[in-house]
Structure formats: structure tokens, C-alpha cells
Amino acid sequence: MTIQRDILITEVALRDGSHAIAHQYTVDQVLRVAKALGEAGVPYIEVSHGDGLGGSSLQYGLSLTDELKLIEAAVSVSGDSKVAVLVLPGIGTIEDMKEAIKLGAKMARIATHVTEADVSAQHISKAKDMGLETVGFLMMSHMAPVDKLVEQAKLMESYGADTVYMVDSAGALLPHEVRERTRALRDHLGVNVGFHGHNNLSLAMANTLAAIEEGAVRIDGSIRCLGAGAGNTQTEVLVAVLERMGIQTGIDLYKIMDTAEEVVAPILQVPQEITRDNLVLGYAGVYSSFMLHAQRAAKKFGIDSRDILIELGKLKVVGGQEDMIIDVASEMAKARN
């Protein structure tokens, strides 16, 4: 298939990758990564706690470094690349966005559960009023039928979003499902369509290409797969694949490869691969950032983390309900004694 358009990539390792390293980014790490990404020509670099502005907490995980310092650091070295922030209404506030703007953030990605776009109205409209490029981010998109996804995306568009993303937070979607959803969004929206995938079923690249072929023009990637669960669509691989397809990203292939190998790889605590727990995330349709929480609960209560994740999937637990993980593990342990 010949695709006659360019693709804009947002690099999410300095936000989604925060989950993978338990939110322990240092200023020095962010400086080195953001500088290298800027030199490689990455258009957008997302920086914040894994759960967005204001996410540092006992429930979601405490950050080693104040995220505002990380944003400031990224802006200072990223050159022409624009720094983006994630905001989850109910966690991140309008005041948080104002602080990020003061430090040089240029894009806000307002994230809600796929059926709760209405809670994004104030954040999207305010972000737009404050001069930010504004993205609606519909998480756990596998949990809604196509018509509901379209309905919710149109709400975000009506609030002022420049782009609306279908977000496969669990890495649970299959390529034909991504095609159907992207096509429906493209047919019903007047703004750009984006896609954010996770690799828990080893389908992030396939799903990303399916989204692009159906009209998505804004795509997320995580360099060296540094993201929650098994990571996201691997940025340096995506750039290479798109070049093979004749699609321009504006990113220097050699430089992004070097950044992955020399700058980002040393940050990984363990290699990003599809482990049994990552696989279960995709299989059960569970929020990718739940993995470390489930592993800790499994160790505490002496049960299999996979059983916890499967039960969370049955309960249709969504992002923001991390406190349920301990409750589920505790009840499972009691039932076995």
C-alpha cells in the first residue's frame, strides 16, 4: 500500500517508560535522552510521571525527581523538538498545566478512560486557550465498541482537541480491530487521528502499521521499547520500517538507532521483552502500568501475579484503580487459605 503522507511521532519513553523504571528518572538521564532525541529530529518528546502531571503519589508510585524539574531539563536541551505532557483529569490540574507551560511545554495530552471523555472538557478547552497543542487520549480503547469510541472521540474534538488518539493501553487489540477503529475515527472526525500501542501481545508494530494504513497520522513510540508492560511500538524500528515504506518522519535513522543503543539501553533495569506477566496483560486486557503493582502484591501475598492480572481483567479494572490490586490479591490469598 502506498501512503502519500508524513507521520509525526511522539516519543513517550520519558513518560510511559517511567512505569518501567518505577518512576525513578533522574535529571541527568532526562537531559541525556532528551538531548539525543532532539538531535535525532524527534518532533515531540513526552515528559512526566507515568500517570501524568501530579501522578507522583503512594497510589501510582512516587517519583524520584520532581517531574517539573524533568520537564525543565528536557526543554533546555531538546532543540527544535517540542516537549509534551500527559494530564489525567482528576490527577493533573489546570495549575499543573500552567506550571508546565512556564517551563516550556508545548503540547498537552489529556487522557481519560475510553468511556469517560466528558471529564476532559475543561482540561482540553483550557489547554487550548493557553496556547498548547491539545490531544485527546482515549485509554483502554479495546474496552469500548467502535460506535462508543467514535462518540467519545467526537466529544474530545468538540472540546477543542487538535488530535484524538486511540490508546491500546493493555496491548490487547488485534490488527483487524485497530483497522476497524481507526477507519471509523477517520470517517467521523475532522481532526487528526493518533494511535498509541503496547507490545504485550507482540502486536505493537503490526497494530501501528494498521492504524497508519487506515489514516492515523500521529503515532507514539518508545525508544528501545521503554514503556509500561512490554513497552510501546519501538521508535527506532518504526522509523526504519516507515522509511522502507517511503513514509517520512523527519527523524534521522542512524541517530535514533545510536540513541537507543548508547543512551537509553543503559537506563533499562531489565531488557524490555514479553515476559509471562506482560503477555497476560495483553491476554486479559489489563492496563499495562499494573504489572509492577501486581508483581509486588503477588510477592506480598504469596500468589501468582498472573492470577491477579487475570482477575483484574475479569473485573474490568481500569487506570486509576491501582488500589484494587492489593484488594484483589488479598481476597485471592484468603480464598486459598
Annotated active-site positions, please? 19
For cell 518508545, the residue is: 222
The string of DSSP letters for 265-333 reads GGG-SS-----HHHHHHHHHT--TTHHHHHHHHHHHHTS-HHHHHHHHHHTT--TT-THHHHHHHHHHH
Is 198 annotated as belonging to a binding site? yes
The single-letter DSSP state of residue 198 is B
Phi-psi domain of 236 (left: phi exceeds 0; alpha: psi -120 through 50; beta: other): alpha
Q: Which H or E run contains 179?
A: helix 175-188
β pairing state of 163-167 and 192-196: parallel
Distances (CA, A) of 206 to 1, 140, 211, 237, 267: 14, 18, 9, 12, 26
Q: Around 231, how many Cα atoms within 13 Å sit in the side-chain half-sphere?
A: 22
Is 66 annotated as belonging to a binding site? no
Is 49 annotated as belonging to a binding site? no
| Beta-bridge partner residues of 44 | 10, 82
Distance CA(239)–CA(241), nearest Å, equals: 6
Helix (H, G, I), strand (E, B) or coil at 91: coil
- Per the annotation, binding residues for Mn(2+) are 16, 196, 198
- Per the annotation, binding residues are 15-16, 169, 196, 198, 287
- Per the annotation, binding residues for substrate are 15-16, 169, 196, 287
